[in-house]
Structure 1
Amino acid sequence: MSTSLTKGEKTRDKIIRKAAAVFNLHGYSGTSLSELMEETGLEKGGIYRHFESKEELAVAAFDYAWSEIRLRRRIALDEIPTPLGKLHGMIDGFAAKPSPVPGGCALMNTAIDADDGNPALRAHAREALREWLDYLEALVRQGIRQDEIARGVSPAAIASTIIATLEGALMISRLSDDRSALDNARKHLHTMLDGIARKAG
């Protein structure tokens, strides 16, 4: 059975890919239809033939951006054999390149952008955050089971600290046009993980 996309499906995917960068760079309110038309090379009717509204397109664009971020992170981390090593790798990877989509971390951008009354985008950003938290918490629990991480460590606390520190540092680095905050956050989080590693003996 053929899995090739129809012409309409290919056009829809192209719109989503192109729109993802525009929304991530300019936000929902800051993105105009003319910018979307210019980026996709389509007229208004060509875009809205595939999406009922700008909001529907923005949600699809965020989901695409998040799936790209998740895929790149997981591919890099799959090569690391241990849970604690994966946590260190997550930190290094984020500090080096927060997102493969232009505009920085789509999760942070969308969470801030949707905070003033876009419930659909906010719900998708919340789901993405929960997924990231769950992934990190699972790594901590696995590390505890394998005696790599000290017992008594809170998986939820470690996961939320990693995300909050990285996202906060990214915001500071972007506003100051200086990546020192990201570098400092990376070092601090590595020290934190070294502190929860189970000591031999």
Structure 2
Amino acid sequence: MSKAEKTKQFIIEKTATLFNTKGYGATSLSDITQATGLTKGSIYGNFENKDQVAIEVYKYNAGLVSRVMNESLGEQYSTSTEKLNAFVAFYRKNWRSVFSNGGCPLMNAATEADDSFPILKKCVQQSFTLWTERISLVIKQGQQSGELNKSVNAEEYASLFIMLIEGGILLSKTMDDEKFLNQALDKIKNIIEYELIILPL
């Protein structure tokens, strides 16, 4: 990377947790300069405005979520069931780090952007669409192999899994109690075991 590209990436990485914990609207330029140790001139020399920083930071945070998902649903697992269970296990094992970094960046950005930050809202919509497509693909692959129930709608179950996880994270973070996330993950496990998997006769 060029020096300018390295500086831009430095700003994004240094402010990633800041935007996710404090919020995209509440994070000020002064917060950004304090987090990075750079001047306002240096920030504006690399980004058009604070909104552009926010968008790039969101893309970075969403990319981290995407990489985790790809690892959980990756080819190291031979069956769709193993992939879905690995996906659930990630949140079971790593909820502390998710919470300490401000919670799910997709949910945080979604609740904040809404109609006040339409560009960010569009980015969040794209992220959730990709997330749904990734999970539904795993379910469809299991259906094609005869492992999972062909009568279920893969997109609907993928959306349900996302709603349960996001709702569990929201309640657990709000109430400072991981039991709500665990309840959501338990529900997903039950759905996988009793609604998706085709049991041998």
Q: Aligned with 2:149: secondary structure?
A: coil
1:172 matched to which residue of 2?
A: 171
Distance between the aligned counterparts of 1:45 and 1:87, measured in 2? 46
Identical amino acids, percent of aligned pairs:
30
1:131 matched to which residue of 2?
A: 130
For 2:197, give the aligned amino acid.
A
Distance between the aligned counterparts of 2:94 and 2:106, measured in 1? 14
**Structure 1, residues 39-73: CA drift from partner, whole Å, max 9, x if none?**
11111111010110111110100001111121123
For 2:162, give the aligned amino acid.
I
* TM-score normalised according to structure 1 size: 0.93
Distance between the aligned counterparts of 1:90 and 1:72, measured in 2? 9
Distance between the aligned counterparts of 2:164 and 2:80, measured in 1? 19
Does the CA-based 8 Å contact 2:80-2:141 persist in structure 1? yes
Distance between the aligned counterparts of 2:45 and 2:72, measured in 1? 37
**Structure 1, residues 5-51: CA drift from partner, whole Å, max 9, x if none?**
11111000001111211110111111111111011111111101011
1:18-167 superposed matches below 5 A: 18-78=14-74, 79-97=76-94, 99=98, 102-167=101-166
**Structure 1, residues 149-186: CA drift from partner, whole Å, max 9, x if none?**
01101101110110000000100000100000011111
**TM-fit CA distance, 1:100:** 9.3
**TM-fit CA distance, 1:88:** 1.5
Distance between the aligned counterparts of 2:123 and 2:136, measured in 1? 20
Does the CA-based 8 Å contact 1:95-1:166 persist in structure 2? no
* TM-score normalised according to structure 2 size: 0.93
Distance between the aligned counterparts of 2:10 and 2:31, measured in 1? 15
Distance between the aligned counterparts of 1:141 and 1:43, measured in 2? 50
For 1:84, give the aligned amino acid.
T
1:14 matched to which residue of 2?
A: 10
Unaligned runs of 5+ in 2: none
Does the CA-based 8 Å contact 2:99-2:173 persist in structure 1? no
Superposed structure 1 runs of 4+ greater than 6 Å apart:
none
Kindly report the root-mean-square deviation, in angstroms, between the aligned alpha carbons of the 2 structures.
Answer: 1.5
Does the CA-based 8 Å contact 2:115-2:121 persist in structure 1? no
Q: Aligned with 1:29: secondary structure?
A: coil
Alpha carbons of structure 1 residues 100 and 72: separation in structure 2 relative to 1, 3 Å: farther
For 2:161, give the aligned amino acid.
I
**TM-fit CA distance, 1:101:** 8.2
For 1:81, give the aligned amino acid.
S
Unaligned runs of 5+ in 1: none
